Amino acid sequence: MAIISTKYLLDRARKQAWAVPAFNIHNAETIQAVLEACQERRSPAILAGTPGTYKHIACEEMLALGAAYSSSFDMPVVLHLDHHESFDDIAAKVRAGVRSAMVDGSHLPYEQNVVLVRQVVEYCHRHDCSVEAELGRLGGIEDDQHVDEAHAFLTDPEQAVSFVKHTGIDSLAVAIGTAHGLYAHRPKIDFSRLDQIGRLLDIPLVLHGGSGVPDEDVRQAIQLGIAKVNVGTELKIAFADAVKAYFGQHPDASDPRFYMREGMDAMKTVIHEKITICGSEGRLAEGGLK
């Protein structure tokens, strides 16, 4: 077993109309929680780390943890670069052994986005690293980025065709009405736009901002071409709330083996729910993983 690319995994998921959940991780405990839950359900695992996460725990350390769990849990692991913007940063992590990268140039003018993404694709593909990019821009807060509603915009289907053609990406993150963080109201997902994009493109599509999206909306999006669903905020809240509750009941507690376990188990409950919604349970038993 090993650290793998997402390309073959997402291609298979789209063809079979299920999705791979991508879980944002922040430290060793959250990595363990994700992989425990995925091993229990035999679901493919994508560990997604933002640049902020890699500042907290080094890339080499995350790769070592991922490789160790891959061996002990008998499952391939995807360590994914989430919302990375710098070519040099991505290239360094790919050289270290990462095999899945999301380059985010959505804040740039279209032409500059294409140039950046194509540069990343050309480098990553030489190292068997799959590349995801974003066209359109989601609102909300992700890591240290805050995009207000005025600067968020949806993916243009025709432009998406040109973008994929000129960059050579393996998967496309689409802006269809979701946002990073939690929603004050039910998100209005543009399924008609997603359907059009899905019909025009033959690569897997990615749904960012999956926390708080109603289950039935996620399932409908998967039927229209979404093959990867990103989940972050719900995991952090579940973990934090459980740890706070533990200290509320045990104010003198000091052993992280106990209070961290509470957070990990609460996080795993959310992970199990997302695996069910995405239809990824048991998919590790199928062939085609590389």
Tell me phi and psi for residue 175, to 5 degrees. -100, 110
26: annotated binding-site residue? no
83: annotated binding-site residue? yes
- Listed in sequence order, the DSSP H helices in 187-255 are 191-200, 215-223, 233-249
Active-site residue, from 11, 82, 170, 217: 82
What is the rounded distance in angstroms from the CA atom of residue 123 to the CA atom of residue 215? Answer: 37
98: annotated binding-site residue? no
* 3-state secondary structure at position 70: helix
CB neighbours of 113 closer than 8 A, spacing ≥ 6?
Answer: 105, 106, 133, 135, 163
What is the rounded distance in angstroms from the CA atom of residue 141 to the CA atom of residue 236? Answer: 14
209: annotated binding-site residue? yes
178: annotated binding-site residue? no
If you ran DSSP here, which 8-state letter would residue 151 be given? G
Which position has the token pair 């109603």? 214
208: annotated binding-site residue? yes
Amino acid found at 94: V
211: annotated binding-site residue? yes
Q: Are 128 and 8 in contact (CB under 8 A)?
A: no
230: annotated binding-site residue? yes
210: annotated binding-site residue? yes
181: annotated binding-site residue? yes
* Active-site residue, 170 included: no
Indicate the annotated binding residues for Zn(2+).
83, 104, 134, 180, 208
Indicate the annotated binding residues.
83, 104, 134, 180-181, 208-211, 230-233
Indicate the annotated binding residues for dihydroxyacetone phosphate.
181, 209-211, 230-233
Catalytic residue numbers, as ranges = 82
